[in-house]
Structures are given as structure tokens and as C-alpha cells.
Amino acid sequence: MNMSLTIALLGILDLTPMTGYDLKKSIAASVSHFWSADQSQIYRTLAVLVADGLAEVEVIPQEGRPDRHEHHITPAGRRALDEWLRSPLQPEKPHDAFLMRLFFVGTLGVPATRAVLRARRSQATVMLAGLQSVVEQEQARREPDDRSPDDLGRRLRHATLRNGILHAQAELAWLTETKEALE
Amino acid sequence: MNMSLTIALLGILDLTPMTGYDLKKSIAASVSHFWSADQSQIYRTLAVLVADGLAEVEVIPQEGRPDRHEHHITPAGRRALDEWLRSPLQPEKPHDAFLMRLFFVGTLGVPATRAVLRARRSQATVMLAGLQSVVEQEQARREPDDRSPDDLGRRLRHATLRNGILHAQAELAWLTETKEALE
DNA sequence: ATCCCGTATAGGTGTGATCCTATATGAACA
DNA sequence: TGTTCATATAGGATCACACCTATACGGGAT
């Protein structure tokens, strides 16, 4: 069984039942910093979930636009999600195109190498700013009425953002170190 | 055109002509910290390189074992490599199964969450130790006779290892921070 | 005597993912 | 009046990759 999009969809449907279209937006809004998904792939995977009995469709007729196919997680789906969450996670094989580029760019000389590093710095800077602004928005959204409990889910969602921030900062620190090593 | 294994193979063949078998070993030995490749995929990609005129095969007969199909990069291959090295590198879409797991594991409670973080810590620790030992081996191999110039290629290969080390350290720091945030 | 390892090549099959495209309609915009 | 946007679903083609298997033979270990 698929260990990736399947799980992302089950995890989101476990929070709120929704349509493929909603899932696309939800992924873009809340997990885009560590996952992405193509729309057609979402629909295909959703069909597999239903075929496997991990989700059920509730068709909600609408006027003027296509019916909503609202997907709900089933008990079997919830079990499959739990099982995956508790299963060992084998470390993924890295595929980092940037490091590959850096590894081979030496033959083009120092100026080309510096250009590669500069491009990386600007990307990492944009990435960091993006993550920080998401964190700030979350905090701002929370301050007006801090009645809601600071529950585990909230903290973990925040932790995934912090992960991205620390890695972006590590990347910037590494870029500084590497730039100095080239002088 | 393929922006990944193709380039890895061209990059390595540009350093030294070799066979598919050698490439598999070379990748495992020198770029495994940021790239991995399946043997059959290497042979397939190699065939594409030859079909596209980016590499040429020199057959070297051997006794008792299959002939060596030694692949050499062609001028067109060198140009394709240069072009890729200078082309803009669009940021890759992240697919981080661990962060997805953390994002959804909250529904299983705090103990299950701690277990996920502990597993991550041990993986990151192993990863860090592995990278550091590679760096130490490189330095040890160098000390006996430090006649060889500390050229750009060497420094960049070292930089790719440093990148992995800084990210592994960032991951460990993040794990500590996250563990504290759960208390 | 047997089995596995190293050398060397390569096909079969399935999966996950991306890019592009098609369909349908109301509402807002220019 | 025409275009684009938002809603909503979904197929086609292609790609990159992983996992498994097959072939061939010499050498060393059990």
C-alpha cells in the first residue's frame, strides 16, 4: 500500500470530511511546507481509498455546479491511518538536485560556483520568510480570543513549521560557511 | 529531458569514464548522502544517454566475466551538463513523510507522539555520525601526503557533506525544542 | 561439494507523480 | 460581450524510480 498521498488524504479526512477539490486547497494551505499534491493525483488516490473501503462518498447535490463528492474516512480508514502512524518509518533516500549541482559545478570555475550559491541563498531566504510569516499569521489569528486550548494538534502543526524554519536557517548558515571556504 | 539521474551520470562520467556497474558503486561511495540510484535505472539511463549522443560506449573484452561497456561522455554530453549546471534550478516540492506523520500523530496522544520523535532522533543521530565519519576518513586519507592541491572540486564535495551535517544538527536541535514544547 | 560474493549487463512490472486537457456553470470583471 | 475565476470532477500520456528477476562465471568460504 501507498505510504504517502494515501496517508495525507486519510489524515486530512480524519480531521474534516471534504471533497477532492477541498483537499487540494487544504493541502496547499496547511501542509504545503512539507507536502504537495497534484489535483488529478488526489482524485485518483481518493478513488483508490473508496475502492479499498478506507473512505466513503456522500454525494451532496448542488445547483449550478457539480455535485459535491464529500469523502468521509471509515473505521477501516482510521485503522489504516493509526497503523501507519505507529509503523516504523524507514529513512527516505535523498534526492537533492541542488547538492548534485554543487558537487559537479566545480568544473565551471569559481564564478559559476558562486552564482549557484547565490541563487540558493535567495531561495532559502524566500523560504524562511514565507515560513515565518505563516507562523506570525497563526499567532495573530490566535491572539484576539485565546480561549481555544493549545492542544497537541496545534503544537505539532506549529512544530512542522519550526522544522522548516530551523532547516532554512541551517541552510543559510551553511551558505555563509561555504562562501568563506571558497575565498 | 530528465533533470536528475541523467545529470548525475554525466557528471560522474565527466570525471572518469566507467561502466554501469562502476557508476553504481561510485554513486554509493561518493554521492549517496544526497543521491541514490537503482542499478537497473542506471543501465536504462545510460542507454538513453548513448541514444541521445551524450555518451559513447567503448567495449573492453574481458575473460571469465562480461565485457566492460565503458561509457565516455561526448562533447554534446559535456555541453548538456554545462547547460544544466548554469540553468535556473526551480525549488523542489517537498515530500517529507516524517513531518506528515508528526502533523497527524496528535490524535494518538502524547506517548505515541514522543515515540515518533524518539525514532526520529535516533535516525538523525545515526545520519550525523555517518556523515562525520566520512569527513574524518577524507581528512585522514589526505594527511599522509598533503601534496595534492585543495582544489575547487574537493572543497565542493566537502561542502555537500557539511550541508548534511548542518541539517542533521538542525534536526537534533529542533527535536530538543519540540520535546520541550510538549511538556 | 555447495553456496554465496563480486563482476557485469539488462528486462519486467508496478507505482507515484507531473503535465495537460476536458467538462459544466454561475458570478464577477473589463 | 467576452474573459477569467471559482467550483468540482476526472482521463491521457509520460516520467522517474523502485523492486524483482535473469544470465554468466570465477573465486573464496563453509
* Domain boundaries along the sequence of chain B: 5-86, 97-181
Place of cell 500500500: A1
Whether residues B156 and A113 touch (CB distance < 8 A) is answered with yes
Could you give the CA distance from residue B11 to residue A100 in angstroms, rounded to a whole number?
Answer: 9
Q: Considering the domain B5-86 in this protein, what is its CATH number?
A: 1.10.10.10
> Using CA atoms, how far apart are residues B56 and A164, in angstroms rounded to an integer?
43
- How confident is residue B62, by pLDDT bands cut at 50, 70 and 90? confident
Mean pLDDT of B115-126: 97
Read off the pLDDT of residues A37-78 as tens digits, 9 standing for 90 and up.
999 999 999 999 999 999 999 998 876 677 889 999 999 999
Q: Does B36 touch chain A (CB under 8 A)?
A: yes
**What's the pLDDT at A76?**
97
- Rounded-to-integer distance, Cα A72 and Cα A18, Å: 7
Q: Dihedral, CA atoms, B43, B47, B49, B53, nearest 10 degrees?
A: 150
The arithmetic mean of pLDDT across residues A129-143, rounded, is 89
Per the structure block, which three cell numbers stand in for B36?
541514490
d(CA A103, CA B41): 21
Interval B73-89: pLDDT, tens: 999 999 999 999 999 99
B148 has a pLDDT exceeding 80 = no
Q: Which positions ≥6 away from B113 have C-beta within 8 Å?
A: A152, A156, B102, B105, B106, B182
- Is A34 in Cβ contact with B100 (below 8 Å)? yes
Backbone angles phi, psi at B182, to 5 degrees: -90, -5
Distance of residue A114 Cα from the nearest chain B Cα, in angstroms: 11
Identify the pLDDT of residue B22: 97
List pLDDT tens digits, range A76-121. Answer: 999 999 999 999 998 889 999 999 999 999 999 999 999 999 999 9
Residue with smallest Cα–C1' gap to D21: B40
Q: Which residues of B touch A104 (CB under 8 A)?
A: 7, 11, 14, 81, 85
